[in-house]
Amino acid sequence: MDMDIDKKLRGRRVLVTGGAGFIGSNLVESLLEEDNYVVCLDNFSTGKRRNIEKFLDNPKFRLIEGEIRDVSICREAVEGTDIVFHQAALGSVPRSIADPVSSTDINTGGFVKIIFAAKEAGVERFIYATSSSVYGDNTDLPKVEDKIGKPLSPYGVTKLTDELFAEVFSTIYDIKVIGLRYFNVFGPMQDPEGAYAAVIPKFILQLMRHERPVINGDGTISRDFTFVNNVVQANHLAAIVEKEDALNQVYNIACGKSTSLARIFEIIRECLGKYDKNISGIEPLCGPERPGDIKHSMASIKKARELIGYSPMINVSEGLEKTVEWFMNDR
């Protein structure tokens, strides 16, 4: 995984919850490459066994198949751990609207159980994934960490609640925490199947099948799409930063640029056209906007740049090219 060699965590014992998921498995791979001992906790409700199969024979990798909602499993997973990377969640705004009970139970209930277990075990640092969904109805651009709105979905509520719990835990229990607000992450090992698949892998798979993807809205909806390697880099930086003022904070993790869905489609089509010329002539369909969606999103990454040294290494076009290559050759 392409990352600045001076900005990686090395030789520690770490836990990655949701380690068989899209982001989690990319993070696990990078941590193993740097000689860390990695425990992966996953129940495979959304994570995939194929994402971690290549790690199973590694003596520095351990899989615990279980629930973050199970207190005893959480205690087992954090035992002897230096750093926790909490990636486990039931993602997707539409999924949370369809089933707010499960989203809340896993995303908030599970969060409290794992962070409390980490505190009880004396874990040095707890790094957790939160989301741009916490900005809700705030229309200001770019998004700045200390200016959020009212969440527009149960998923946004769960992530905001996690941030509040983390802040309280850092104050009353003196556990060092860092929250990373992810903005529309994409890349290898992201699942293109299912009702709640993210837009980029879904577009790629549909075009590979010579189907016409549906763009929600008129195509002008824009997001700060972020390649997964940038997110992995941010997790490493959050794990090694030593400045006191950088701890117990929340950071936007994105590229700091917004790209429309129509442009995303065009780039993907262009990349796939190099493998299959018949894809070049496929045009998208337009569908209704999704409930709970905002029109535009773009992050300010100034705080992450200044306090933890974050700088996205791979832009959207490069990331899409790498993602398409993975779909064509490795999936």
Based on the residue annotation, tell me whether 128 is a catalytic residue of this protein.
Answer: no
Which residue do the tokens 């999924």 mark? 95
CA proximity to 312, closest of 221, 222, 251: 251
For 49, 159, 300, 313, the CA distances from 142, given in Å and listed in that order, are: 37, 19, 5, 20
Q: Encoding tokens for residue 195?
A: 């009702």
Residues 42 and 288: their CA atoms lie apart, in Å, by 34
Active site residue: 128, 155, 182, 251, which one?
155
Please work out, in degrees rounded to the nearest 5, the angle formed at the alpha carbon of residue 311 by the alpha carbons of 307 and 314: 160
Residue type, 266: E
* Residue 307: CA count within 13 A, CB half-sphere: 21
3-class secondary structure for 154-165?
HHHHHHHHHHHH
For 264, 275, 278, 314, the CA distances from 269, given in Å and listed in that order, are: 9, 10, 10, 19
Q: Which of helix, strand or coil describes residue 78?
A: helix
H or E element, residue 261: helix 261-273
H or E element, residue 186: strand 185-186
Q: Which residues pair with 181 in a beta bridge?
A: 130, 252
State the catalytic residues: 155
